[in-house]
Structure 1
Amino acid sequence: MAPRKWNRDNWPIAAAMIQYPNLLPDGRSVQDQSVEEWAATLADVVDAGFTELDPTDSWIRLADLSAERLDEFVGLTRSLGLTIPAISTSRRSLIDPEHGEEYLAYGHRVIEAAAAVGAGSVSFGFFGPLTEAQKKVLWFWTVDGVKNPDDAGTWQLAVSRVRELGRHAEELGIEVSLEMYEDTYLGTADSSVRFVKEVGLANVGINADLGNLIRLHRPVEHWQEMMAKVAPFAKYWHVKNYNRTEDPASGVIVTHPAPLEFGLINYRAAIRMALAHGFDSPFLCEHYGGDGLSVSAANRDYLRRILPRQEGH
C-alpha cells in the first residue's frame, strides 16, 4: 500500500456548487456569464474559507466551455487561490434512454476538461433528472425518482460505457468515482461492489456517498455495514450527513439534513475504514437546505480535525 500523499492540513476538501443553479433569474446560463460574474459567485466560496472547488456541472459545465473560456475560468480560480481537484457530474446518466450516447460523449469531454484544469478525479452517476413529483416536495429524496432498469443488457451497457470512460481517464492519470445513489446500479453497497468489479479497472472506484441512501424514507442497510463493503473501493468521496429516525411500531421513517459531525453516519469511523484500505482521494462537502455552503465549510473544518496528522501510513 503506497503512503498517503496528504495530511489533515493539505487534504483536498472541495466545496460543492449545488446551491447555485445553472440557469439564472434573467434566463441566461452560467455558461455565458462574464468572468466578473463568475468571480462574484466564487467569492462566496473563498469567503467560506475553501481553497478547493468542484465546479459541479449542475452549476457550470466546464466540459462545454470553449478552450478560451476554460482558460479564463481556470485563471480566475487561480487568482482567487482555488484549485480544482475533481469535477462531479449530476443527472447525466450514461444509460439515459434518450441521451445516453450524448452523455457518454460528454463524459469523455469531462475527463479531457479534468486533465486540462489539473483535476485528478471525476465523479459519474446513473441517477436521472428529478421527476415532476420530486420537484414539488420539500425534500426530493422523499419521493421515488427514476430507476435503473432491472435488465442484464442495460447493466452490461453501463459497465461497458464506464469501462470506456475509465480507460480514457487512465490514459490521463485520472480516477473515476461512481456515485452511490438509490435505485441505480450503485444503489446498494453490494451492487456497487459488483459493478466496479465487473468494470475491472484499478482507477475506477466508488463514490461512497452514503448520505444519498440513509436519507431515504424506507429501510436501508446500516451505514457501517455499507461502508465496510465499499471501503476497499472508495475513491473521490462526496460527504454529507442526515439525521434519521425510525419508529418500528408505526413504520414511520423521517430524515433531515445534518452537519457532518452531528448526523447518523460517524464519519470519523467511516473515514478510518477507508484509510485502512489506502483511501487517498479528495473529499467534496455538500449540504442541502439553509446556507449549505456555510454548513459545508463547517464540515470541512470537522474533516480537518479528524484526518491523519501526518502523511504516510
Structure 2
Amino acid sequence: MTQECCNTPRWNRENWPIAAAMINFPGVLPDGSLVQEQSVDQWAETLQQVVDAGFTELDPTDSWLRVADLSPSRLREFQYVVKTLGLTIPAISTTRRSSVIDPDHADEYLAYNHRVIETAAAIGAKAVSFGLFGQFTEEQKKRLWFWTADGVKNPDDAATYQKAVTRIRELGKHAAEYGIEVSLEMYEDTYIGTADGAVRFVNDVDVPSVGINADIGNLVRLHKPVEHWSAMIDKIVPYAKYWHVKNYMRIEDPDQGIYLSYPTSLALGIINYRIAVQKAIACGFKSAFLCEHYGGDGLTVCGMNREYLRTILPR
C-alpha cells in the first residue's frame, strides 16, 4: 500500500477536532467502584471538568469507560450526557487490549475491538485507535513512570506477526464498512514500535482505512537510544491517521550512557510539533487529534496543548 502526500486540509485552526483524553481520570474509583457503573449525574460531573478545561471534544478512552461494553440503554444515557454538555466524540481509543499477544484474552479482545468499531459508528465517531501493547507488568505498576521498566514485548516470530497483520486487516475491513479509520498506536517493543516497523506493518495489512497513530511521544520518553523524532515523522506522516499528541523533555549523554525524560507540554518538549503537524498536513493528514499528558494536572496541560495546536493549524 502506498500513500501520496497532498495538501488537502479538511478543517482549519478554528474547528479542527482536538479531543481530551480521559487517561487523567481513573476507571476504578477510590472506593473500589467502577466508572462503568456510575450514574448519569456522576458521568456528567466528570465530563463537566472536560468542558471547564475548554474542550468541545472528548475521547472516552477505555481505561476510563468502555463505551463498547455499555448496554444499549446505558450507551444512550452516556450519549445524552455528552450532548447535553455540548461535547462530541471524534474517536474512541483502546488501551492494553491487544487482539494478538495476550494468550488468555486475545480472542476476547478481538471481539471487543469489533464492538468498539460498531459503537464508534453508532455514536458518530470517525476513528478508532488500537494498539499491540499489553497490560502493565507488576514492575511497571511500581514505577513513578511506567515506561522506565520493560513491558510486555511482541513475540519475535513470523507466525505471531502474521496473526497480528491478519487480525488488524480484519478490523480494518470491518471499520471501512462504516467509513471509520483505524489508527494503530506506535508503542515500544511492538510490531509498530519503530517508524520503519510501523510503515512495514501498515503496508502488510494493506487496507486503506488502516494507518498509523503517530504517537512518537511513546518512544522519545524511553530511557535508551531512540531514532530522532524528525526522522520518525518523515517516515510515518504519509500514513498518519487519528493522532495522540504529547511531548517530553529528553536529556541524552551517550558517552555516559544517560538517557532521561519527563513529561512536558507540546510546545516545550523535544518533538517540534509545529514542524511535525505541518509535515503531516502537507501529506494529507485530515483526522482528529487527541491531547494526552501524564503527571500533575494532566487535563489542564491538555487544554494548554489544545490552544497551542490551534496556533499551528492552517488558517
| Coarse TM-score class (shorter-chain normalised) | over 0.9
Match of 2:249 among 243, 251, 276: 243
- CA–CA separation in structure 1 for the residues paired with 2:42 and 2:250: 39
Match of 2:105 in 1: 99
Q: CA deviation at 1:114?
A: 0.3
1:259 aligns with 2:265: yes
Match of 2:3 in 1: none
Deviations 1:232-273 (A, max 9, x none): 000000000000001122111110001000000000000111
- CA–CA separation in structure 2 for the residues paired with 1:94 and 1:273: 31
Match of 1:171 in 2: 177
1:102 counterpart SS class: helix
1:272 aligns with 2:312: no
* Partners of 2:183 and 2:213 within 8 A in 1: yes
* Structural RMSD (CA): 0.8
Deviations 1:26-46 (A, max 9, x none): 221111100000001001100
Q: Which amino acid is the alignment partner of residue 10 of structure 2? A: K
Match of 1:36 in 2: 41
Q: Which amino acid is the alignment partner of residue 196 of structure 1? A: V
| Structure 1 residues 43-62: aligned runs within 5 Å | 43-62=48-67
- CA–CA separation in structure 1 for the residues paired with 2:118 and 2:67: 10
Match of 1:18 in 2: 23
Q: Which runs of 5+ in 1 are unaligned?
A: none
Q: Which amino acid is the alignment partner of residue 80 of structure 1? A: L
Match of 1:227 among 233, 252, 277: 233
Match of 2:167 among 161, 164, 176: 161
| Structure 1 residues 96-245: aligned runs within 5 Å | 96-245=102-251
Deviations 1:150-196 (A, max 9, x none): 01000000001001010110000000000000000110000000000
* Partners of 2:29 and 2:35 within 8 A in 1: yes
Q: CA deviation at 1:19?
A: 1.1
Match of 2:83 among 53, 60, 78: 78
1:249 counterpart SS class: helix
Q: Which amino acid is the alignment partner of residue 74 of structure 1? A: Q
Q: Which amino acid is the alignment partner of residue 56 of structure 2? A: T
**TM-score of the two chains, using structure 2 as the length reference:** 0.97
Match of 2:307 in 1: 301
Q: Which runs of 5+ in 2 are unaligned?
A: 1-5
- CA–CA separation in structure 2 for the residues paired with 1:2 and 1:255: 34
Moved more, 186-195 or 94-103: 94-103
Q: Which amino acid is the alignment partner of residue 85 of structure 1? A: P
- CA–CA separation in structure 2 for the residues paired with 1:3 and 1:190: 25
Q: Which structure 1 residue ranges, 4+ long, deviate > 6 Å from structure 2?
A: none
Q: CA deviation at 1:4?
A: 2.3
Deviations 1:168-225 (A, max 9, x none): 1000000000000000011000000000001001110000000000000000000000
* Partners of 2:8 and 2:282 within 8 A in 1: no
Q: Which amino acid is the alignment partner of residue 116 of structure 1? A: A
Q: Which amino acid is the alignment partner of residue 9 of structure 1? A: E
Match of 2:93 in 1: 88
Q: CA deviation at 1:2?
A: 7.8
Q: Which amino acid is the alignment partner of residue 303 of structure 1? A: L
Q: Which amino acid is the alignment partner of residue 29 of structure 1? A: L
Match of 2:12 in 1: 7
- CA–CA separation in structure 1 for the residues paired with 2:291 and 2:173: 27
2:19 counterpart SS class: strand
Percent of aligned pairs with the same residue? 67
Deviations 1:121-171 (A, max 9, x none): 000001101111011111000111000000100000000100101011000
Count of equivalent residues: 309
Match of 1:63 in 2: 68
